[in-house]
């Protein structure tokens, strides 16, 4: 049966797959950057002494974490154009969705990170005359970020895999590209095997990187 396989279609569709992979990577990077920034703000809001702010942030995070990602992707795709009154392409819709969705997960990581910074450090920052935002910027967040770096990266690997769900709204990521190419050449199995391999190689190397990073951080501490 294996003799029936024709892997030559792979070389022909490489440029097409490469374009898909580029979008997957772009989506991952945008969602990671936006998600960590927005997520950090959410974490600060949740830890704030202002009750309504903390509750609003907690409600947002808990809602996002309780809905399947595919549904969020579909809802954003359908709802955002209604809200803004402008049509929105699948690609930009996907980026907005992932930023908003991943922020909920990153915020939980950053919240743990902020709480991992000893109280004495906060006191030391205050004693030097730092305001709340200065002590966050110069003392707490850099340490929180550093402590959580391996977990943030692990979450990013999950995010990288989850981006494949944008195929639901027809956004041309790596998975969608392979599906199209597979149909064009009528070789879906070869395509899916090849793409699975690409996902595996990227995710596996990244997780090895995280492992190394963890060891390095362990030495510094």
Partner 1 sequence: MIEIKNVSKWYGQFQVLTECTTQVAKGEVIVVCGPSGSGKSTLIKCVNALEPFQQGDVVVDGISLSDPKTDLPKLRSRVGMVFQNFELFPHMSITENLTIAQVKVLGRSSDEARDVGLKLLDRVGLTAQAAKFPGQLSGGQQQRVAIARALSMNPICMLFDEPTSALDPEMVNEVLDVMVQLAKEGMTMMCVTHEMGFARKVASRVIFMDHGRIVEDDSKEAFFGSPRSERAQLFLSKILQH
- Does residue 220 belong to the site contacting partner 1 (CB under 8 A)? yes
- Does residue 134 belong to the site contacting partner 1 (CB under 8 A)? yes
CA–CA distances in Å: residue 87 to residues 23, 76, 92, 110, 173:
20, 12, 10, 34, 20
CB of 144 to partner 1, least distance (A): 10
- Does residue 209 belong to the site contacting partner 1 (CB under 8 A)? no
CB of 155 to partner 1, least distance (A): 21
Please return the burial class of 197, using the count of CB atoms within 10 Å of its CB with bins 0-12, 13-18 and 19+: exposed
- Does residue 48 belong to the site contacting partner 1 (CB under 8 A)? no
Q: Which of 130, 185, 192, 199 binds partner 1 (CB under 8 A)?
A: 130
- Asked if 88 contacts 81 with a C-beta cutoff of 8 angstroms, the reply is yes
DSSP states along 38-92: HHHHHHHHHT-S-HHHHHHHHHHHHHHHHS-HHHHHHHHHHHHHHHHSS---HHH
- Does residue 136 belong to the site contacting partner 1 (CB under 8 A)? no
- Does residue 146 belong to the site contacting partner 1 (CB under 8 A)? yes
x/- letters, 109..128, toward partner 1 (CB under 8 A): ---------x-xx-xxxxxx
CB of 41 to partner 1, least distance (A): 21
Q: Helix 51-66 and helix 90-116: axis angle, to 10°?
A: 120
Closer Cβ to partner 1, 71 or 213, answer by number: 213
The position carrying tokens 């991952």 is 28
Question: Measured in whole angstroms, how far is the alpha carbon of residue 91 from the centre of its chain?
Answer: 15
CB of 45 to partner 1, least distance (A): 21
CB of 127 to partner 1, least distance (A): 4
- Asked if 179 contacts 51 with a C-beta cutoff of 8 angstroms, the reply is no
Binding positions for partner 1, rule: CB under 8 A: 118, 120-121, 123-131, 134, 138-139, 142-143, 146, 220-221
């Amino acid at each position: 049966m294996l003799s029936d396989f024709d892997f030559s279609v792979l070389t022909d569709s490489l440029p097409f797959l490469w374009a898909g992979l580029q979008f997957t990577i772009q989506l991952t990077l945008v969602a990671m950057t936006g998600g960590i920034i927005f997520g950090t703000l959410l974490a600060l809001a949740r830890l704030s002494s202002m009750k309504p702010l903390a509750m609003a942030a907690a409600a947002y995070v808990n809602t996002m974490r309780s809905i399947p990602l595919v549904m969020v992707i579909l809802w954003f795709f359908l709802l955002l154009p209604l809200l803004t009154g402008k049509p929105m392409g699948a690609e930009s819709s996907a980026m907005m969705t992932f930023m908003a969705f991943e922020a909920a997960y990153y915020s939980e990581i950053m919240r743990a990170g902020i709480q991992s910074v000893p109280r004495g450090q906060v006191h030391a920052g205050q004693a030097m005359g730092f305001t709340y935002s200065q002590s966050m910027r110069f003392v707490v967040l850099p340490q929180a970020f550093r402590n959580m770096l391996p977990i943030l990266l692990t979450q990013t690997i999950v995010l990288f895999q989850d981006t494949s769900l944008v195929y639901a709204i027809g956004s041309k990521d790596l998975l969608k590209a392979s599906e199209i190419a597979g149909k064009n050449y009528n070789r879906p199995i070869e395509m899916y095997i090849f793409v699975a391999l690409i996902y595996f190689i990227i995710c596996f190397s990244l997780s090895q990187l995280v492992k190394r990073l963890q060891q390095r951080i362990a030495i510094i501490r």
